[in-house]
């Protein structure tokens, strides 16, 4: 019996104009955005590879580059917005990455600010979720208003099986649409020779598609629930669209505003003061060392070893203390962000976005991994720089320090996003259960 209902529902959907139009729109937008994002990735990859070859570090300026993530072709996250380069010296560790033109000079922000990402994640979050609403808003209400519901139930069809059949029928159609859109985008991505997925990337991609499936299920369960509850299809569509706008556009925005007002951040002036205060005890000594150093340089003589060494030490200490202040500030930024997410965690879109970025390695977590590695590299670089004054031979022989950001195993991404998965699954089940019980009690006349 269940199979008959499912089959009928699927056929019904596949024949409907709204499904065909919806799928057409989804495919067009998915293809358009993927083509654009692949081109963007290509440009960024070329720049990154060229920079690694052509803009190499010298003894003083260490240029480190952040590679673009291949999955940003589907889930752009912040990959494009965050700068791709950082230049450290033993005098300084910048608090953030910047464009290739360097900190303070790069106009990178001009090209990215104010633009949100239109990518496959957007297609799932906005376009497919909207299609889900359109598929399911009249699943029950239409049958009720046209009178077929009581006819169906006058046969020997148990109510629970009918609803389950309807649910599964629609669900298969939605999953099919998701699969088709994902496949189309994936083919577009993989048809380019410069793109290759590592095995970890495939796991991540599958996880992302699983996440998309649960996310769409949430909207599907909500839609079905409303469709059971409300008898007129046009009203149920209106209610669902309002809920959709609220959950996807309004609520996340209000969450951020609330977090920004609840969790205040220190100003740039305060940070500068903290940095100055941290180095205050060494200020006088540095001035003395600087003078001695400058004197030696101006006269063309050799800088005494202990002065040179202390000079590097003090500058590195200043950079390190500043870095600690920046780190603390970075933690506050993260705390504010987490608060915003916590406030808006009832929105499936926020949960979805957060987990999707994590899986694509295009979010802040990956950026923070990169920055941690930058700091580790910097520490080694300072030690190496000191060798110039202590053991010139050893300095010349010392191999280049390798900069490599360890790849996060996909399991770690799962561990970091389990709550999002759980909440999404919970919402799906809860709304399905609500719809189910409402349907069992429903007056079908």
Partner 1 sequence: MRTIIRKELLDHLRSVQFTVLLAASIVLFAANGLVFVQQYTRLNTDHHKDVAVNDQQPSTMMTRLYRAPSPLLFMAEGGEKASPKGYWLSPKLTLYPLSAGTGNFKMPDIPELDWAFIIKIIFSLYVILLGFEAVSGEKERGTLRLVLSNPVGRIKLITAKYLAIISSAAIPLLAGLLISLIVIGVFLPAVLGPQNLVRIAFLFMLALAYLSLFAFLSLFLSALIPRSSLVLLVLLAFWIFFAFFIPDTSSIAAQKFSKVPSEYEMAKLLGPTIQGEVWKRIARIQDRIQKGELKTERDVLDEANRAYEEGQDSVRKLYDDYDNAMQERAALAQRISRVSPAALFQYAAEAVSETGPKAEARFFRDVRNYSRVYDDYILKKVGKVVGTSPWSFSTGATLNGKYINLQSPFPQEYAGDKSDFPKFSESRPSLLDGLHNGLWDIAGLLVWNIILAGLAFSAFIRMDVR
Indicate which single residue of 45, 157, 235, 438 sits in contact with partner 1 (rule: CB under 8 A).
235
Annotate each residue in 247-286 with x if it binds partner 1 (CB under 8 A) or - if it does not, as one string. Answer: --xx-xxx-xx--xx---x-xx------------------
| 3-state secondary structure string across the chain | CHHHHHHHHHHHHHHCHHHHHHHHHHHHHHHHHHHHHHHHHHHHHHHHHHHHHHCCCCCCCEEEECCCCHHHHCCCCCCCCCCCEEEEECCECCCCCECCCCCCCCCHHHHHCCCCCCCHHHHHHHHHHHHHHHHHCCCCHHHHHHCHHHHHHHCCCCHHHHHHHHHHHHHHHHHHHHHHHHHHHHHHHHCCCCCCCCHHHHHHHHHHHHHHHHHHHHHHHHHHHHHHHCCCHHHHHHHHHHHHHHHHHHHHHHHHHHHHHHCCCCCHHHHHHHHHHHHHHHHHHHHHHHHHHHHHHHCCCCCCHHHHHHHHHHHHHHHHHHHHHHHHHHHHHHHHHHHHHHHCCCCHHHHHHHHHHHHHCCCHHHHHHHHHHHHHHHHHHHHHHHHHHHCHHHHHHCCCCCCCCCCCCHHHHHHHHHHHHHHHHHHHHHHHHHHHHHHHHCCCC
- Our finding on whether 122 is near partner 1 (CB under 8 A) is yes
- Our finding on whether 15 is near partner 1 (CB under 8 A) is no
**Which residue lies nearer to partner 1 by CB, 1 or 250?**
250
- Our finding on whether 234 is near partner 1 (CB under 8 A) is yes
Find the binding residues for partner 1 in span 353-392 (CB under 8 A): 353-354, 364
- Our finding on whether 132 is near partner 1 (CB under 8 A) is no
Find the binding residues for partner 1 in span 316-345 (CB under 8 A): 330, 333-334, 336-337, 340-341
**Which residue lies nearer to partner 1 by CB, 303 or 430?**
303
Query: How many residues interact with partner 1 (rule CB under 8 A)?
Result: 85
- Our finding on whether 115 is near partner 1 (CB under 8 A) is yes
Give min distance, CB of 275 to partner 1, in A: 13
Give min distance, CB of 159 to partner 1, in A: 26
- Our finding on whether 68 is near partner 1 (CB under 8 A) is no
- Our finding on whether 196 is near partner 1 (CB under 8 A) is no
- Our finding on whether 17 is near partner 1 (CB under 8 A) is yes
Give min distance, CB of 155 to partner 1, in A: 27
Give min distance, CB of 187 to partner 1, in A: 20
Annotate each residue in 82-111 with x if it binds partner 1 (CB under 8 A) or - if it does not, as one string. Answer: x-------------x--xxxx-xxxxxxxx
């Amino acid at each position: 019996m269940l199979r008959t209902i499912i089959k009928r529902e699927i056929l019904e959907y596949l024949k409907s104009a709204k499904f065909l139009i919806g799928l057409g729109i989804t495919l067009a937008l998915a293809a358009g955005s993927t083509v654009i994002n692949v081109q963007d990735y290509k440009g960024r990859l070329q720049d990154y590879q060229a920079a690694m070859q052509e803009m190499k570090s010298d003894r003083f300026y260490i240029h480190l580059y952040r590679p673009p993530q291949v999955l940003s072709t589907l889930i752009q996250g912040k990959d494009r917005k965050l700068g791709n380069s950082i230049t450290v010296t033993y005098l300084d560790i910048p608090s953030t990455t910047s464009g290739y033109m360097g900190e303070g000079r790069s106009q990178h922000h001009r090209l990215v600010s104010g633009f949100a990402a239109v990518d496959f994640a957007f297609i799932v979050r906005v376009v497919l979720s909207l299609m889900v609403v359109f598929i399911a808003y009249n699943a029950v209400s239409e049958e009720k208003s046209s009178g077929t519901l009581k006819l169906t139930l006058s046969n020997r069809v148990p109510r629970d099986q009918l609803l389950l059949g309807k649910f599964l029928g629609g669900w298969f159609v939605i999953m099919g649409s998701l699969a088709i859109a994902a496949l189309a985008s994936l083919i577009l991505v993989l048809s380019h020779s410069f793109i290759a997925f590592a095995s970890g990337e495939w796991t991540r991609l599958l996880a992302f598609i699983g996440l998309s499936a649960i996310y769409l299920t949430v909207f599907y369960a909500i839609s079905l629930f409303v469709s059971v509850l409300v008898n007129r299809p046009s009203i149920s569509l209106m209610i669902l669209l309002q809920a959709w706008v609220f959950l996807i556009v309004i609520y996340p925005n209000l969450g951020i505003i609330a977090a920004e007002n609840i969790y205040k951040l220190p100003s740039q002036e305060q940070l500068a003061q903290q940095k100055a205060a941290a180095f205050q005890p060494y200020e006088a000594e540095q001035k003395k060392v600087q003078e001695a150093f400058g004197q030696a340089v101006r006269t063309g003589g050799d800088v005494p070893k202990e002065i040179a060494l202390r000079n590097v030490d003090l500058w590195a200490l200043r950079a390190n203390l500043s870095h600690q202040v920046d780190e603390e500030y970075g933690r506050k930024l993260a705390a504010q962000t987490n608060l915003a997410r916590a406030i808006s965690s009832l929105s499936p879109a926020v949960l979805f976005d957060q987990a999707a970025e994590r899986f694509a390695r295009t979010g802040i977590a990956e950026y923070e991994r990169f920055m941690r590695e930058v700091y580790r590299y910097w520490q080694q670089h300072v030690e190496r720089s000191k060798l110039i004054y202590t053991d010139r031979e050893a300095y010349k022989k010392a191999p280049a320090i390798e900069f490599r950001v360890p790849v996060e195993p996909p399991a770690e991404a799962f561990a970091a996003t389990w709550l999002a998965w759980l909440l999404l699954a919970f919402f799906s089940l809860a709304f399905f259960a609500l719809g189910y019980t409402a349907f069992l009690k429903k007056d079908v006349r």
